Amino acid sequence: MLNLGVFLTIFLGAASSLFYIAGELRGRVGWANDICVTALPICQHPEWPAFAAAVMICAVMVLKLAMGSRF
């Protein structure tokens, strides 16, 4: 379960980076245009997945501390 949380944290961080770069390159590079047309709100606000990643890593850490060394 915790591995899934860590995976989702990394995935959301990578998605945030991708949307940030696509937003900066929109209008100049074809793949960036395609991404921003598909997901314009996230392309305009790439911090949303980053905030979700921060919440996820906090939840993973709380669960890890709550479970202790049982697993």
pLDDT tens digits, 17-71: 999 999 999 999 999 999 999 999 999 999 999 999 999 999 999 988 988 766 5
pLDDT of 71: 54
Mutual angle of helices 2-25 and 47-67, in 10-degree steps: 170
**Which residue range(s) make up the domain with 27?**
2-66
**What's the one-letter identity of residue 28?**
R
pLDDT of 43: 94
pLDDT of 69: 63
In a domain, 40, yes or no: yes
CA atoms of 58 and 60, how far apart (whole Å) = 5
Q: 67 vs 7, 8, 9, 53, 56, CA distance in Å?
A: 19, 19, 19, 21, 16
CA atoms of 43 and 21, how far apart (whole Å) = 9
φ/ψ of residue 12, rounded to 5: -65, -35
In a domain, 71, yes or no: no
Total domain count, the chain: 1
